[in-house]
C-alpha cells in the first residue's frame, strides 16, 4: 500500500489544513479522470475524542472542505477541474498505511493482492479473514474456514476492514 507521488504531495499540503479543523487525516484518494479529477479526503475524530465515543460529523466534513479548498487554491497542485469530497472512512474503512491496521488486530479484513498467493489451483489474489498479527514486513490472516496466510505487506494492493454487525 504505497502512496503515489501525487497522493504523497497532496497529503503534505492537506494534512496541516485538516489538523487545523481538530480532526485527523485518515487517508486521501486521488483519481485523475480526464478533465475532471476526484479528490476524496477521509477524516477521523482525534484519538482522545474517539475514546469518548465521538465521531466525525457533517460539520467536521464541511469545515475540512472549506479549509482544504482554500489551501488547494493557493497551492494549485491539481491541473484542471476536480471534485473535492470529504467524509469519514466509515465502518468498512480502507487502510491507507500498514500502521493503520495495527489497531484492528483481531478483526476481519479484506485484502486485494498484487501477486496471487497459494499453490496449484488454490492461487488467489483476494483474501479475507481475521487479522491475527502484523509487523513491519508481513501480516498473518486466518480465513473463516481456518486457512492461515502469511502475506508480505509489499504484496497488498488494497486493504479494508470488514464491517461485522455485532
Domains of the chain, residue spans: 3-89, 93-159
pLDDT tens string 9-43 = 999 999 999 999 999 999 999 998 878 899 999 99
- What's the CATH number of domain 3-89, 3.10.450.50, 1.10.3720.10, 3.40.50.11540, 3.30.300.70? 3.30.300.70
pLDDT of the residue at 79 = 84
Write the DSSP string, 85-129.
EEE---TTPEESSHHHHGGGTTSEEEEEEEEEESSGGG-EEEEEE
CATH class given for the domain over 93-159: mainly beta
For 28-42, letters b (16+ CB in 10 Å) and e give: bebeeeeeebebebb
Q: What is the model's pTM? A: 0.86
Give the per-residue pLDDT at 62.
Answer: 97
Amino acid at each position: 500500500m504505497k502512496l503515489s507521488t501525487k497522493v504523497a504531495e497532496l497529503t503534505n499540503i492537506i494534512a496541516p489544513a485538516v489538523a487545523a479543523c481538530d480532526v485527523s487525516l485518515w487517508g486521501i484518494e486521488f483519481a485523475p479522470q480526464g478533465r475532471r479529477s476526484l479528490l476524496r479526503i477521509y477524516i477521523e475524530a482525534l484519538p482522545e475524542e474517539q475514546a469518548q465515543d465521538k465521531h466525525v460529523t457533517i460539520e467536521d466534513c464541511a469545515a475540512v472542505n472549506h479549509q482544504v479548498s482554500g489551501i488547494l487554491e493557493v497551492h494549485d497542485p491539481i491541473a484542471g477541474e476536480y471534485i473535492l469530497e470529504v467524509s469519514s472512512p466509515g465502518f468498512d474503512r480502507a487502510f491507507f498505511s500498514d500502521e493503520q491496521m495495527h489497531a484492528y488486530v483481531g478483526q476481519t479484513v479484506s485484502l486485494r493482492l498484487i501477486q496471487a498467493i497459494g499453490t496449484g489451483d488454490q492461487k488467489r489474489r483476494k483474501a479475507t479473514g481475521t487479522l491475527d498479527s502484523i509487523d513491519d514486513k508481513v501480516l498473518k490472516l486466518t480465513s473463516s474456514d481456518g486457512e492461515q496466510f502469511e502475506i508480505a505487506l509489499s504484496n497488498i494492493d488494497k486493504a479494508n476492514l470488514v464491517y461485522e454487525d455485532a
